[in-house]
Chains A and B, each alone.
Chain A
Amino acid sequence: MRKTGFLYDDRYLLHDTGQYHPEMPDRLRAAYKGLEQAGLLQNIIPVKAVKANQKWIEAVHSIKYLMRFEDACLLGMTEFDYPDNQMCKDTYNIAALAVGGIMEAAKMMMEGRIENAFCAVRPPGHHAEVSKAMGFCYFNNVAITARYLQQEWGIGRVGIVDFDVHHGNGTQHIFEADPTVFYYSVHEHPSFSFPGTGRDFEKGIDLGYGFTLNSPMLPGQGDTEFKHLIERDLIPAFAQFQPEVIIVSAGFDAHIDDEMSNINLSTECYTWIMDKIMEMGDSYSKGRVLSVLEGGYCLERLPELIANHVRVLLGIKP
C-alpha cells in the first residue's frame, strides 16, 4: 500500500453558499463519509489544514484582487464578482485554509512523508482567474500549489490533469504562456457548458504554445469517448512533457448521475482515469500525484466515487 495523504478539515464546511447552491458543505461530508464507510480512514495519513502564506497566493493572484475579496468578506457581502459566487464572512479565510492545506500536502510529499495525496477542500479553484472569482472558485488552488512546488521545491515541470466536467479557464489562463506547466483538460464542450472556454484549438500562447491541451466532449458522450480522448491526447502529451509532479483537478461532475452536465461517465470510468494518472505518475513523476477536489455535485454518488479515487491513490485493488 502507498503512503497517501488525506486533507480534510471541518472548517471547510464553514464556507456558506446559502440555500439551494450546488457547491454546498454536504459535498465534503459525503466525501468524508465515503472514506469512512469504505474503512479507508485508517489507511490514510492525515494532512493538517494550515492557512496559506499570502506570498504564495500572490504568486498567482493580484494583490488588488486579494484585497477586494477580503474586503467583500469583511463587509459581509454574500456574493462576489458573479451571482454564482455565493459566500459568507468566513469565505476568505476558508479559501486560504484550503489552498494552505494543499500546499502542506505538497510539502509532505516533497519531504517523502507521503507519496501522493487527496485534498478534500472547499471552495474549489480551477475557474478562479488572476483577478476574478468565477464558477464557485476564489483562489486557484492547483495553480498556487504548482507555483509553490516550482519556487519552494525547485520542481521544473508540473503537469496538471483536469477531469472536472467544466473547463478550468483560470488554470489555463494562468499558465497559457508558460512552458513549464502543462495544462490538460477533458470537459463538456464549451458551446454546451460553462464557462465557454476550452475549445480544441486553444493550445497555449507564445512560449507556452503546445503546453495547453483541451479535449472537449459532446453532450451524451460517455466512457468510450472519454477513454479514447485520454489515450489519444493526454497519454502522449505527458509522455513527451515528462512532468516531475502531477496535480489533478479532480471533479466528479461528469458522472452520469450528476445533473450538472450531460457527460455520462460511469463510476468505473473514474477509477480508470485515476489508474492511468497513477501509471503516468510512476513513469515520470516518482509517483508524486497530488489530487485536489474541484466539482462533483451528486451527493448520492460522491462517497463511492471518492472512496474509489483514494483506493487508487493507495494502490488498493477494489
Chain B
Amino acid sequence: MFIDKSMTKKVITIHKDAPILEASEKMKQNNIRHIPVVDKDNILLGVVTDRDIRSAMPSVALADLDTQKERERITKLKVEDIMTKNPVTISPANTLEDAIMLMQQTKVGAFPVVDENRKLQGIISIRDMMRAFINVLGIEEPGTLLCILVENKLGQMKRIVDAISEEKVSFGSILVARYWDENKRAVFPYLLTNNVMNIKKKLKNMGFTLLDPMNWYLDQLPKA
C-alpha cells in the first residue's frame, strides 16, 4: 500500500531552462500530462503540466494577431516561466490511501514523489491509482458481482462468507458501501464463478435481501 510500490520510477523530467516547446513535445511522445522540473542533482523545482503549456499558447480565437511576434514570444518561453513552483508532493513512505485523499482534496492529477531532501524518487498519477483500484476490485478475473443488504450489526459478514464458502466459491473481492441507510450496509461480494443461482437462493433463505442491480450504488457520500 506504499507509494513507492505503485509509483512510476523511471520519470521523464525536464530542465528549468528548456523551452516549453520541448516540454510539449515530451508530453506528446510519452503520452503524459505532468513533467517534474529538476536541477542537475535531481532536486525538484516544480512541475509543468499540459494545462500550463496550453495556457501559455495563444488562443485560436486570436489567431489573426501578429503571429510572427507571438511565435517569437512562445519560442523564448522557458519551462521555468510557466511551471508550478510549489507543487503538491508526496513521500515514498506515504500510502495509496494518502494519495487518493490528497487527490480528492487538491484536485491534482499527479504528485511528484520526493524524499526529505526534495530529491525526485518517482511520480504517482491518477492512472497508477486506477490500476491499483482495478486490482483491488479483482475485476480482471472472471466473476459475478452480488449486492446484499445487511443489518449493521456484528457477525453479518461472517454469515455471508461462510454461506458462500460452503458452496466452494472463492472471492475476488468484497466491498462494503457506507451511508446506504442508517442501519444498513450494502455488501458487494465479487465471486469468481458463473454459477450464483444456488448462492442467491441460499442467501435469500437466510433472510438476506439481494438488491436489484439497478439500485446498486457505491457512492452514497455527499459530493465534495
Contacts and interface: CB of A to CB of B under 8 A. Distances in A.
B145 A192 contact: yes
Which of B170, B192, B195, B212 has the most CB atoms of chain A within a 10 A radius of its CB? B195
Interface stretch (B68-76, B94-102, B136-144, B154-162): B136-144
A193 B169 CA distance: 16
B200 to A, nearest CB: 8
Contact of B194 (A136, A220, A262): A136
A134 B195 CA distance: 12
B143 A195 contact: yes
Interface size class of A (residues with CB under 8 A): 20 to 34
B168 interface: yes
Contact of A218 (B141, B144, B192, B214): B214
Interface in B43-87: none
A194 B194 contact: yes
Which of A20, A127, A194, A220 has the most CB atoms of chain B within a 10 A radius of its CB? A194
A41 to B, nearest CB: 31
A187 to B, nearest CB: 12
Contact of A20 (B140, B143, B198): B198
B213 interface: yes
Interface size class of B (residues with CB under 8 A): 20 to 34
Nearest to B170: A83
A208 interface: no
Given A83-B168, A191-B145, A219-B212, A22 B195 contact: yes
Given A21-B195, A166-B194, A191-B145, A196 B169 contact: no
A84 B213 contact: no
A315 to B, nearest CB: 34
A260 interface: yes
Interface in B124-141: 139-141
Contacts of B213: 192, 218-220, 262
B197 A134 contact: no
B212 A220 contact: yes
Nearest to A23: B195
Interface string A5-21: 00000000000000011
Which of B141, B192, B194 has the most CB atoms of chain A within a 10 A radius of its CB? B194
Q: What is the predominant secondary structure among interface residues of chain A facing chain B?
A: loop
A193 B144 contact: yes
Given A21-B195, A194-B193, A135 B169 contact: no
Given A83-B168, A191-B145, A196-B143, A219 B214 contact: yes
B143 A194 contact: yes
A219 B140 CA distance: 21
A231 interface: no
B198 A195 contact: no
Contacts of B195: 21-22, 84
A260 B168 CA distance: 18
Given A195-B194, A220-B212, A260-B197, A127 B142 contact: yes
A271 B99 CA distance: 53
Nearest to A134: B142
Interface of A: 20-22, 82-84, 127, 134-136, 166, 169, 191-197, 218-220, 259-260, 262, 297
5 contacts: A20-B198, A83-B192, A83-B193, A192-B213, A194-B142
Given A83-B170, A192-B145, A194-B144, 11 more contacts: A22-B197, A84-B193, A127-B194, A166-B194, A192-B213, A195-B142, A219-B212, A219-B213, A220-B213, A260-B197, A297-B197
